[in-house]
Amino acid sequence: MKTHRADLLQSSENVYGFFMEIEAIWDNLLHGDESLESPEWHGKALSETEARVHAGQDESIEWGQAKADLRSR
C-alpha cells in the first residue's frame, strides 16, 4: 500500500516530523558543505547577467513575477 504525504500529515506528530525534515533540509542548504564549488559556467553566466544589468540591457524582477511570467507562457 502506497502512503501519500497527505495521509502522513493527519496526526500532529507526523506534522511535526514533516516540518523537522524540512528544517533539516533548509539547514543543510544554508550551512552545507562549503567546499562544494559552483561550476565555471555558472560563474560566467552570473558575470554576463550582471554586466547586462549594469549596461541597462537587462533587468531583474521579483521571483513571484518571474513565476507568473513563466506560467503564462
Please tell me whether the overall predicted TM-score, pTM, comes out greater than 0.85 for this model. Answer: no
pLDDT digits (tens, 9 = 90+) for 28-71: 888 876 667 888 999 999 999 999 999 999 998 999 999 999 99
Q: How many CA atoms lie within 13 A of 71 on its CB side?
A: 6
Q: How far apart are CA 66 and CA 12, in angstroms?
A: 35
Domain definitions of the chain by residue range: 1-31, 40-73
Q: Tell whether the model's pLDDT for residue 21 goes beyond 80.
A: yes
Q: How far apart are CA 28 and CA 22, in angstroms?
A: 10
